[in-house]
Amino acid sequence: MARNYGNDNKSALQAKTDAQKIAFAPIMFQAAKALRDFGILSFLRRNKEGKTVKEIANQANISEYGALVLLEAGLSLEMIYAKDDKYFLTKTGYFMIADKLTRVNMDFTHDVNYKGFFHLQEAIKEGKPAGLHKEFGSWETVYEALAEMPDKFRESWFGFDHYYSDDSFPQVLPILFKNNPKKIMDVGGNTGKFAIKCAQYNPDVQVTILDLPGQLNDANINIKANGFEDRITGYPINLLDFSKPYPKGHDIIWMSQFLDCFSEEEVVNLIKNAKEALDENGELYIMETLWDLQRFEASTYSLHATSLYFTCIANGNSRMYHSEDMKRMVEEAGMKVVEVYENIGVSHTIMRCKK
């Protein structure tokens, strides 16, 4: 369904300028990353009086030619400005090095997505993660591949995933524990980070993590390291096999940054299975980054880009959902959203759902 968003109010000149930014975006992205990784941005940050090309090249251990082309790209990227033969860092340049959100997004773009996105059009036509298949291997989805991916891929994938969800934990726990649940099921619980937070937050709670065996191997290491083997249990399952019921007897089912990994039809089936596993008073909590409920333009921009990661790399058929889509899918699965908590963590919304 089309949504009301955006307008066409730019001047023609501005529009044409913006079109060139898009046309050269991958080249300029690599220039920005090189400025960051060669330490040029942090050198300029430390030297507010500005530095010459020669000084910058020496510091970065690259040729003056190399430093010059990157610095000039940096001028157009507005990460750097020049005055009297010296270069200085701008605020945007500062965020490129000092802001964790920007770093996590950039590493995710580079290490997980960049090469694979050459195959985006194929992914769209075929409804398959063509970027994953062409650049990494023939797994059905990225989730089956995660445990075997190159270190850089894993590091940036987990960095991205954890950055967004970790930040929300302090706000989430009081919401989830309001009615003192005894047993929580974390569906798509990944490396066990959230389950461990729950066990630390409440001394009695028992947590079951449902995920693929590869992720549970990592989770088990973390659970053991934190001494929670008696209270956190891994339950290996391929959740796309909808004929497999979830274990019963949990007060709460928690799905965080999970349903966006699935197509609409799959989301409905996953919620149906959750519903089957809950008793009459049980509650399903869905935490998602819903693109229409963002406070900042930068968040919506990031989420629209992340949807394409699902298209090209993750699975070929899922996306970051609109709140109305998510509510509709909850209802199609026979549950209803009874409460919505907005502005959780960086950009999350929690939907509390009942049968």
Ligand X SMILES: C[S@@+](CC[C@H](N)C(=O)[O-])C[C@H]1O[C@@H](n2cnc3c(N)ncnc32)[C@H](O)[C@@H]1O
The binding site for ligand X (CB under 6 A) comprises 143, 161, 165, 188-190, 211-212, 215, 237-240, 256-258, 261
Token representation of residue 275: 């519903």
Q: Which two tokens stand for residue 27?
A: 């080249």
Q: Which residue is nearest to ligand X (CB)?
A: 188
Contact 231, 199 (CB under 8 A): yes
Task: Closer to ligand X by CB, 35 or 212: give it.
Answer: 212
Q: In degrees rounded to 5, what are phi and psi of residue 311?
A: -60, -45
Q: How far is the CB of 312 from ligand X (least distance, A)?
A: 16
Nearer to ligand X, 93 or 189 (CB): 189
CA distances from 321 to 3, 266, 318, 335 (A): 12, 13, 9, 18
Query: Based on CB atoms, which residue is closest to ligand X, 74 or 189?
Result: 189
How many other C-beta atoms lie within 10 A of the C-beta of residue 281?
Answer: 9
Q: How far is the CB of 76 from ligand X (least distance, A)?
A: 35
Of the candidates 253, 329, 314, the one whose C-alpha atom is nearest the C-alpha of residue 108 is: 314
Q: How far out from the chain centre does Cα 185 lie? A: 22
Q: How far is the CB of 149 from ligand X (least distance, A)?
A: 12
Q: Which is nearer to ligand X, 26 or 245 (CB)?
A: 245
Residues 6 or more apart from 186 whose CB is under 8 A from it? 194, 195, 198, 207, 208, 209, 210, 254, 256
Residue among 286 and 330 whose Cβ is closer to ligand X: 286
Q: List the one residue out of 69, 81, 84, 99 whose CA is nearest residue 44.
A: 81
CB of 237 to ligand X, least distance (A): 6
Write down the least CB distance from residue 18 to ligand X, Å. 31
Q: How many CB atoms lie within 10 A of CB 28?
A: 16
Q: Which is nearer to ligand X, 190 or 349 (CB)?
A: 190
Q: Which is nearer to ligand X, 86 or 183 (CB)?
A: 183
Q: Which is nearer to ligand X, 44 or 284 (CB)?
A: 284
Q: How far is the CB of 233 from ligand X (least distance, A)?
A: 15
For the CB of residue 14, give the shortest distance to ligand X in the complex, in Å: 36
Question: Smallest distance, Å, CB 268 to ligand X?
Answer: 15
CB of 181 to ligand X, least distance (A): 17
All residues at 6 or more sequence positions from 66 whose CB lies less than 8 Å from its CB, including other chains: 57, 60
Residue 244 structure tokens:
């497999």
CA dist., res. 186 & res. 183, Å (int): 10
Task: Kindly provide the b/e burial profile for residues 95-123, where b requires at least 16 CB atoms within 10 angstroms of the residue's own CB.
Answer: ebbeeebbbbbbbbbbbbbbebbebbebb
Q: Which is nearer to ligand X, 153 or 258 (CB)?
A: 258
